[in-house]
Amino acid sequence: MKKAMFWIMPLAILILAGCAGTPGLLTTGARTAERQIDLPDSCNTPDAMAVLSDGTIILSVPNFTDPTSPGVLMKVSRDNSVALYSKLPAHPATGRVYPMGVREAPSGDLYLADCQAMEKPKGHSRLLRVHVENGKPARVTVVAEGLDVANGVAVRDGFVYLTDSAVGKLDDGAVLSAVYRFRLDEENVKILPGGGDPHLVATLKTSNEEIQVGADGIDFDKAGNLLVTNCGDATIEKIVLDEKGKTVNQTVWAKDDRMKSTDGIFYDVHTGLLYVADILGNAIFAVSSEGAVTEVAKNGDCTGADGLLDGPSEAVVRGDEIIVANFDRVFPGSVNTKPDKPYTLSVIRIHSSSTTDSCD
């Protein structure tokens, strides 16, 4: 992040921030988080995750809560030990880097959103590529720059897709957000403002006046449809693309009154379920191929101890577990009321039935 998202308060922006089984596995929900993976104190806002083929998880940590810790990528091994994976180059104009959405390409390279929305003036956000050699991070190159709120990342069929959560406002006050597409070998693209960039795939409109964040989490389903969350409006949109990457159909695919927001998403190819983090509602939901929404886990206002959810920004599937990044930031209307230690990932074992717990 989750991939990801959260609100940059001065800008009134929220950057929100393989499972074995059958598609009907979660018809009655999964048990709430059973345990946690502790992060070091230098990782105060974990956001998004890339699950590698060997089960390793690469975790992005932008550290918005305490920016004295630089943004980094962390590695979570199969046995859940946590270590530094990569430091990242700071933006030359801001001196900071804020890693958000992250995904692995077939080459093993990582594509990463650097969300500079807290910095002034706007337009410093980037899409970065971490070149991986012999399983280790090497050089980092800039794929694209000139973005406003770089957020979620997805990779498919030779292209990397990126959400920009707020690119401007419409005449009625609604927020406009965007999805861009780049070839995996592109570098140093300068995004043209005003919606005229040839890399633009789709735009989303967000009507929520308090949560002015649109396109956030992003992934593809098995059929190749592009799924994008509209965070502020708490919906998920399905976008059908033609062979040139242009939108031919765009609809609201999933909406449920139980979801207060829709942040990072992860599509599980084994079950056909899409997992969505509700950062405001402190919950994780699963969405079926028909768009039916099921509550997986939900908690009240917690510290994140004992594996409970604490402002989740993204949930991914690894084996028979759901791993959740707890962004732990406070936004208008959020269940979470303060950022606090411990800094954690929640671990939810997938079950056929369970009850939903609360820490109120």
**Mean local confidence (pLDDT), 68-73:** 96
**Whole-number pLDDT of residue 351:** 65
**Mean local confidence (pLDDT), 54-67:** 96
233 or 15, higher pLDDT: 233
Place of tokens 């028909």: 290
**Whole-number pLDDT of residue 355:** 37
User: Class of the 5-349 domain?
Assistant: mainly beta
Q: Are 323 and 316 in contact (CB under 8 A)?
A: yes
Tell me which amino acid residue 48 is: A
pLDDT digits (tens, 9 = 90+) for 304-317: 999 999 999 999 99
Tell me which amino acid residue 337 is: T
- The domain spans of the chain are 5-349
End-to-end CA distance of the chain: 27
Q: What is the mean pLDDT of the chain?
A: 90
**Whole-number pLDDT of residue 32:** 53
Place of tokens 């190819």: 269
Least Cα distance to 2 among 204, 150, 181 occurs for 150
Least Cα distance to 162 among 122, 110, 216 occurs for 216
Give start and end residues of each alpha helix (H) in 37-176: none
4 or 258, higher pLDDT: 258
pLDDT digits (tens, 9 = 90+) for 237-293: 999 999 989 999 999 999 999 999 999 999 999 999 999 999 999 999 999 999 999
pLDDT digits (tens, 9 = 90+) for 164-183: 999 999 999 999 999 999 99
Q: Are 150 and 113 in contact (CB under 8 A)?
A: yes
pLDDT score of 22 more than 50: no
Q: Are 165 and 178 in contact (CB under 8 A)?
A: no
Compute the half-sphere exposure of residue 241: CA atoms within 13 Å on the CB side of its CA.
Answer: 23
The vertex-283 CA angle with 280 and 284, nearest 5°, equals 125
Return d(Cα 47, Cα 59) in angstroms, integer: 7
Least Cα distance to 111 among 74, 155, 80 occurs for 155
